[in-house]
Amino acid sequence: MTYESVDQLQKALTENVFHYAKDSKKAAGRALGTIVEIITFYLLKTWKLNNSISIEKRIPEYGNPDITHNVEYSLHPILSECKIQIPNDRSSITANKMLKALDESMDLTSFKKTNNNLLKGGILRNACTIAVSNNSYLVASITRKTGEKIIVSIVEQSIKPFAIFECKRVGVEEGTKKGPQTIEKAKQGAYVARTVSSLQKVRLSSGGLYGIIYKGDKVLYSQPYHELLAKVVESDDAELLQHFILTVGVVSNHGNWFTSEDHNKELKVLAQSYDWLIFLTDSGIIEFVEDLIINPTTEYEDIKKAFLASYAPDKKKNQFTKVQMNINADEALLKYFTGNQGHIESWFNIISPSSGSIHQLKDVIKTLKSKHWEEIL
């Protein structure tokens, strides 16, 4: 069955999956929000950004580090990287086990161990932070499995990110009167986008948007916003880059009542705040759910199983979120996204900048990732 809107899809999930819940419609809505986050995460992985990704890190405001904001995904400079081998014996892969295997390859005296498990009971922890120092994280991910060994990549990420991605599902469900919660959610995202980076926005009386950035020695540099944004991205000037963070918002429909061309107030608030705002279309979400959850082929059946297990009334542990994912579902998702990358990218429309494309956004991220961050920071 093909659904014409996200509302119809949410109704189907309400009736077929969440019928046991006290507020089944709200439960289905939360699941759709999780799906938007998962689509974003695996898209970033297909862009070969796995080793730069951290999840739910607290990012300080520029010039005001006492205030921090939790963001879905942040992309961090890679300071060092190595691989270790863990026996594939179905036992948990703990932070302690990985750090012991890493001990001869890296000086760990400045790091404090976490209690995270990369793999436990068949559940993978994405972007698993295993230790933290004052300036960096150690983040683990599984690179490859064989019959006897699991190859784990350990990456030292700088605490300061070069980009953040946040997912916002805004709008009003069918049959619901518009309330303050939807615009307040948009305002929260807009505030974070405007405060974490050194590149600040100034609105002119004509409506035009200028950018302003502090270079040090009391020097402020300014020009039209998107021109200055492009200049900073292409620059190798440490003073321009060391506190700059590219902000990307991923927005999707919460109810079938706006489009990427017909913006409502929420979209206008977000579009003027994030450096890039990309719209995950209804058709993209619907295709993902139909292909992988409602009617998957055999090769993607593990995704459906993980989804249903996460939302069963007697569930024991989540295994279909951006943080925790069933390892078999993870392998199937990677296969789906890698094999359909170009088509999946077509699920997204660019809202801001108006002349941008998903391929240009990839190029911007690639440019930032390749900077000599050890020298800059």
DSSP string, 18-41: STTSTTHHHHHHHHHHHHHHHHHH
Tell which residue, 164, 207, 163, has the closest CA to residue 189.
164
Quick one: average pLDDT of 303-311?
A: 93
Fill in the amino acid letter for 83.
K
Residue 258: per-residue pLDDT: 55
Q: 130 CB contacts (<8 Å, ≥6 apart)?
A: 95, 98, 99, 113, 114, 116, 118, 138, 139, 140, 154
Beta bridge partners of 201: 211
> What's the rounded Cα separation, in Å, for the pair 333 and 303?
7
- The secondary structure of residue 274, as a DSSP letter, is S
Q: Is the pTM of this model over 0.75?
A: yes
List the structure tokens of 257: 């009542």
* Interval 21-48: pLDDT, tens: 777 888 888 899 999 999 999 999 999 9
Is residue 148 a contact partner of residue 141, using CB atoms and an 8 Å limit?
no
Does 173 or 195 have the greater pLDDT score? Answer: 195
Residue 180: per-residue pLDDT: 43
- Alpha helix locations (H) across the chain? 6-16, 24-46, 95-102, 180-195, 225-234, 238-241, 265-271, 282-289, 301-310, 327-339, 341-345, 358-369, 373-376
- Which segment of 19-23, 162-166, 226-230, 244-248 scores lowest on mean pLDDT? 19-23
The residue assigned the tokens 């999956």 is: 17
Angle, helices 225-234/358-369, rounded to nearest 10 degrees: 40
List the structure tokens of 287: 């295709």
Question: What is the 3 state secondary structure string of 63-98?
Answer: CEEEEEEEEEEEECCEEEEEEEEEECCCCCEEHHHH
> What's the rounded Cα separation, in Å, for the pair 196 and 211?
14
Residue 259: per-residue pLDDT: 55
